[in-house]
Amino acid sequence: MKYGKFLPEKGTIGFVAPSFGCNIEPYKTAFDHSAEIWVQKGYNLNCGPNVYEGSGIGISNTPEKCAEEFNKWYVSKENDVLISCGGGELMCGILDYVDFDSIRQAEPKWFMGYSDNTNLTFLLTTLCDTAAVYGPCAAAFGMEPWHESLNDAYRLLTGQSREVHGYAQWEKESLKTEENPLEPYNLTEEKILRRFPDADCQMEGRLLGGCLDCLVTLCGTSFDKVDAFNEKYKEDGIIWFMESCDLNVMSIRRALWQLEHAGWFKYTKGFLIGRPLCFGEELMGMDQYRAVTEVLAHYNVPIIMDVDLGHLAPMMPLVCGSVGHVKVEGNDISIKMEYR
């Protein structure tokens, strides 16, 4: 596994928009303010041509132009790390134009984003053997003050830390609006881990995953090289981390069924499941917990649910491709990431 160089002091952050850009509020003002914060910290900025674009469908620009931006900014010597501007809906459409061969041969570089950015964070790892950060997008760094999770992401990118911990509270309803674009997370809910089986545990394995909406879309396509990845790292085993955005509880169950039958979980050491955006939903007797456990319980590995991952902030930034050392004690979770 290859790892990018850490963001150095006075280094340059590249911003790209392979999914949505920051062309509308509250994202534009939040991104602009995040840029001010990064400059105050002493960093330089290298913005791609699609950062403020909104002419695409489900993404910032045409699939060709989004891919062209990413290809150029990834191999460029003018930036040290890349952060995606935002999530979106149709980043999968750019994949036919992403030059994974050139990226595979290039000097590795950190790329960070989540949600729709799974199309890159997951494929950089499984296609290019290059670690990526499943973490906050650019506009989140515009909030005042930064939440601890943003400091965690910053410390990962700069190499100051390789460990994250769960957070005490989470946001069910955001207060961020067009009129209040810099609002911090509205932390009203207590974080309560659901553990199956209900016991403390430790697990170790390659961290792999992302947004389930995107993972199930990639499954079975020409970009699906999970079987080869599994075989290469079978001695390490895989800790799957997953969360969901648009999927309801039935869709989550169907998606996990599909990934299971595609053989993705062959060497699993455990599962970290983030709070779904449909948190609390129940359909025909199916809830978010049964949707997961009734498919995955037969692996006889720990399943930790309602983890700080994904769309119901805050989220622990995780290095996809690293070796995770996970410890769950009561309602606390810590993850140390080993870069080998």
Is 261 assigned a catalytic role? no
**Distance between CA atoms of 85 and 94, rounded to whole angstroms?**
15
Is 298 assigned a catalytic role? no
From the list 68, 243, 251, 325, the catalytic residue is 243
From the list 34, 84, 311, 322, the catalytic residue is 311
Is 177 buried (19+), middle (13-18) or exposed (0-12) by CB count in 10 A? Answer: exposed
Kindly tell me the sign of the dihedral angle through the C-alpha atoms of 183, 188, 190, 193. negative
Is 311 assigned a catalytic role? yes
- Contact in structure between 317 and 311 (CB atoms under 8 Å): no
**Distance between CA atoms of 168 and 193, rounded to whole angstroms?**
11
The pairing of strands 323-329 and 332-338 is antiparallel
Q: What secondary structure does DSSP assign to 11-54, as a single string?
A: -EEEEE-SS--S-STTHHHHHHHHHHHHHHTT-EEEE-TTTT--
- Contact in structure between 138 and 86 (CB atoms under 8 Å): yes
**Distance between CA atoms of 319 and 35, rounded to whole angstroms?**
23
47: number of Cβ within 10 Å: 19
From the list 115, 149, 244, 322, the catalytic residue is 115
| Secondary structure class of 136 (helix, strand, coil) | coil
Q: What are phi and psi of 320, to 5 degrees?
A: -70, 120
Q: Residue 91: name the closest of 131, 50, 127, 129 by CA.
A: 50
Give bridge partners of residue 325 from the DSSP assignment: 204, 336
Residues annotated as catalytic (active site), given as ranges? 115, 243, 311
